[in-house]
Amino acid sequence: MKLLILGATGPTGRHVVDLAVRSGDSVTAFVRNPATLGDLAERVTPVTGDATSQHDLTAAAVGHDAIVSALGRGSSVRADGLFTRASTAVTGAARKADVPRLVWLSSFGVGHTFGWSSSAQKLIYGTLLRSIYADKAIADESIRSSGLDWTVVYPTRLTNGPAKGTYRADDRLPMKGNPTISRADVAAFLHAAARGGEWIHRTAVISD
Ligand SMILES: NC(=O)c1ccc[n+]([C@@H]2O[C@H](COP(=O)([O-])OP(=O)(O)OC[C@H]3O[C@@H](n4cnc5c(N)ncnc54)[C@H](OP(=O)(O)O)[C@@H]3O)[C@@H](O)[C@H]2O)c1
């Protein structure tokens, strides 16, 4: 399978790239600065661009079977419009380049899932993460109305622990406290979702 991976230099994106390459996929890593790919650079086709540019993304997306996004704002708590701008650019590029499948990483607590959050989660989502979550809510809706074969993925708090493979994934999960899931497990879900049809047109909540 030919995969275009956005956010390939981030901690979750790196896991997706690694898994995809090890599964025999042909991987294009869409990056702002190829130097930050490090040793992954030899195993992928790096394409330089900005994920808020439909022009850059269209050129990169031609000939791929699916796009997986692990875009994020790193340690910043300000969205700076990244998710709304990137969702518009990615959906436009996918349609133009005729790539039907899009797997988009969001966050649990965004949009309609806020109402399903525990009180501990609501406290964080409504304060520290407010800017990011407001931007993601608009972006996620534009993905869902894109006409593409989308999946929007809502993990709980991310850790850098190893993949356990024992996480739960469903359209809705009960929440207590502030549960976590490792980036390695999130990457495994993103990759599996891109390869299969089970999660098309669905929002996936994933957590340990
Ligand atoms: N932290 C949590 O507990 C948590 C919980 C649930 C969901 N999430 C979400 O999970 C996602 C991944 O988080 P993460 O911590 O693994 O990754 P991250 O550190 O946020 O990585 C961000 C990635 O996006 C890329 N990027 C940002 N702006 C870009 C642009 N304009 N054009 C191209 N690439 C761009 C970065 O590239 P550069 O290397 O060029 O900067 C980097 O590869 C985020 O959306 C985050 O909100 C996080």
Q: Over pLDDT 70: what percentage of the chain?
A: 100
Cα 57 to ligand 1 centre (Å) = 17
Does residue 105's CB lie within 6 angstroms of at least one atom of ligand 1? yes
Mean pLDDT of 197-206: 98
Does residue 46's CB lie within 6 angstroms of at least one atom of ligand 1? no
> Residue whose CA is closest, atom 5 of ligand 1?
157
Mean pLDDT of 132-158: 98
Question: Directed axis angle between helix 130-144 and helix 82-96, to 10°?
Answer: 20
Sketch the domain layout of the chain as residue ranges: 2-207
pTM of the prediction? Answer: 0.98
Cα 200 to ligand 1 centre (Å) = 23
- pLDDT, averaged across the chain: 98
Nearest partner of 116 among 190, 41, 161, 175, judged by Cα: 175
Task: With beta carbons less than 8 A apart as the criterion, state whether 5 and 30 touch.
Answer: yes
Angle ∠(170,20,59) on CA atoms, nearest 5: 100
- Residue 161's pLDDT band, with cuts at 50, 70 and 90, is very high
CATH fold label, 2-207: Rossmann fold (3.40.50)
